[in-house]
Chain A
Amino acid sequence: MTNNNSAAIEVVDLVTHYGPREILHGINLTINEGEIMIIMGGSGSGKSTLLRYLLGLGVPTSGSINLLGKDITKISNTEMHQLRQNMGVAFQGGALLSSMSIGENVQLPLREHTRLDEKTMEIMARMKLEVVNLGGFEKLMPAELSGGMIKRAAVARAIVMDPKLMFFDEPSAGLDPVVSAELDELILNLRDAMKMTIVVVTHELESAFKIADRITVLDQGNILMTDTVENIKNSDNERIQSLLNRRPSNEEVKADEYLNRLTGM
């Protein structure tokens, strides 16, 4: 982990509402350049909500969100449009446009932000699809792909502009362990080879511990703790422990202990 301590993302006192309900109650979070930050938390804790605001998809009630030195709650539309070239997002269900082929989906950001010719865009899209092991699939439609392939295609689309910031929403949800491990590998590669700053929302503990530089734990719209994997694991905060112990499988668990857990809790 390269920790040169310059912030790629800085959230200060972020408060958000859905209608009259306050969801995030003053979030403070700094994510350094080139690190993988995992956002964890129970269901309804506000992970997806936090992600929405990081992506500039909602207007917060108060607070500021700095991405690459720009406060996205204050900048103009034009500046935001430019900033978006440096942001890639892999949505939970992939969110590929169903009306176009995989290749065309991957080309979309190029079409919007560059004046490249058709041939170049095709080649770039094919290269990114190869990065995610989908070389040769560009002619297929999203409906013809499996869930895991769609997620990888979505990653290809997200990285086609070589963004500095990359966001993943539940990358391993609904995937089998092998595919999900491949995706973890891909995320690590994006950090190491392409020097991206990566934010991952997940509740798969195993994958989180494997790829995280740091983890931030959300609970009912507040941040409980932001720290390294070790410190999170060793934290004596009760809520964090109860979150961690919901882990369904663990190679260290012995059979009798597992039985105890099943019956005892």
Chain B
Amino acid sequence: MPETATHPLTNSLELLGRSTVKLIEEAGYYSALLAESLFWILVGPFIKRPVRIPSIFSQMMTMGIAACPIVFVLSFSIGVMLAIQMIYNLKTFGAESQVVVGVALSVTREFGPLITGILIAGRTGSSLAAKIGTMQVNQEIDALRVMGINPVRYLVAPSLFAMMIMLPVLTFFSDMAALLGGAVYTSIEIGLSFDAYADRTLSALAVVDVMQGIFKSLIFALIITLVGVSNGFSVTGGAEGVGKATTRSVVLSISYIVIADMIFTYFLNL
């Protein structure tokens, strides 16, 4: 390869250009993966090559049910934290009781989906990348292909399916846990009863508020799965490569989740 001395600015421009190209390439790869997974989920059963149902259920268990305790703990804490902050801030206006509205809205629209997305990216996204990366390194992916078993149908489609169901469910669960956290703290701090808290929460919330969070979680589910599996598939170079891909997939999917969240929050609240 020719070594050419270049101006530092040209260098950084080139770097910027390269990273942009790489990002666009990856976006293309994600869309192709998504399209192929949807093909197998929707068309597979009709051409006698269905997605494995048992695999979907087992993944729903590991990525969904098994994550409930940690989702509960984190979401409950977030609920308490929000209540603390809001009561403190609202006190200056003597409007502590408005805390219920504040917690309800920020939990369902923002913190429920975000905290669940980030948690599952770290938990499930990384394990998807590690699993598929290891299979790639051990030639298991090649073996699937030579047996005529499409790896996207066999590995990606079930994960995507399971994630698209479980992340919204977990998000709803997270909403509940965070609201509970808010209620517990509020009842202790300003002596508002649980019944009153629940009443006010229900009247403060519209269905769209909850749906906005659930909609976000669907997008996050796509991001986590696609980033995780595509990093897994692109592993080269043994166990070290698997480690790198795993880290990369967590960093990337959390970044994409936060950025996507910002964009959606902007457009959904126009």
Contact = CB atoms under 8 A, between A and B. Distances in A.
Interface of A: 52, 55-57, 80-81, 84-85, 87, 89, 91-93, 95-98, 108-109, 112-113, 157
19 contacts: A52-B142, A55-B142, A55-B146, A56-B145, A56-B146, A57-B146, A81-B148, A85-B148, A89-B146, A92-B139, A95-B138, A96-B140, A97-B144, A109-B147, A109-B148, A112-B147, A112-B148, A112-B149, A113-B148
A95 B142 contact: yes
B143 interface: yes
Interface in B109-161: 134-135, 138-140, 142-149
Contact of A91 (B134, B142, B148): B142
Nearest to B131: A99
In terms of DSSP, what is the predominant structure of the interface of chain B?
helix
Interface residues of B, number: 14
Contacts of A96: 140, 143
Nearest to A85: B148
Nearest to B142: A57
Interface string B164-202: 000000000000000000000000000000000000000
B258 to A, nearest CB: 32
B242 to A, nearest CB: 13
- Which 5 pairs between the two chains have the least Cβ-Cβ distance? A84-B148, A95-B143, A95-B139, A91-B139, A89-B146
Nearest to A84: B148
A95 B147 CA distance: 12
Contacts of A85: 148
B148 A95 contact: no
Interface of B: 49, 134-135, 138-140, 142-149
Contacts of A87: 146
A97 B148 contact: no
Contact of A84 (B134, B138, B147): B147
Contacts of B49: 112
Contacts of A113: 148
Nearest to A109: B147
Nearest to A110: B147
A98 B145 contact: no
A118 to B, nearest CB: 13
Contacts of A112: 49, 147-149
- Most B CB contacts (10 A, CB to CB) among A55, A89, A92, A113 go to A89
B145 A95 contact: no
A46 B149 CA distance: 26
B94 to A, nearest CB: 60
A95 to B, nearest CB: 4
A93 B139 contact: yes
A113 B134 CA distance: 26
B60 to A, nearest CB: 16
Contacts of B134: 98
Nearest to A55: B146
B140 A97 contact: yes
A57 B135 CA distance: 16
A57 B149 contact: no
- Most A CB contacts (10 A, CB to CB) among B138, B139, B143 go to B143
Contacts of B148: 80-81, 84-85, 109, 112-113
B2 to A, nearest CB: 13
Given A57-B142, A57-B145, 17 more contacts: A52-B142, A55-B146, A56-B146, A57-B146, A84-B146, A89-B146, A91-B139, A91-B142, A91-B143, A92-B139, A95-B143, A97-B144, A98-B135, A98-B138, A98-B140, A108-B149, A112-B149
A178 to B, nearest CB: 25
A112 B140 CA distance: 16
Contacts of B149: 108, 112
Contacts of B139: 91-93, 95
A81 B145 CA distance: 9
A114 to B, nearest CB: 11
A98 B137 CA distance: 12
Contacts of A84: 146-148
B80 to A, nearest CB: 39
A81 B146 CA distance: 9
Nearest to B49: A112
B143 A89 contact: yes
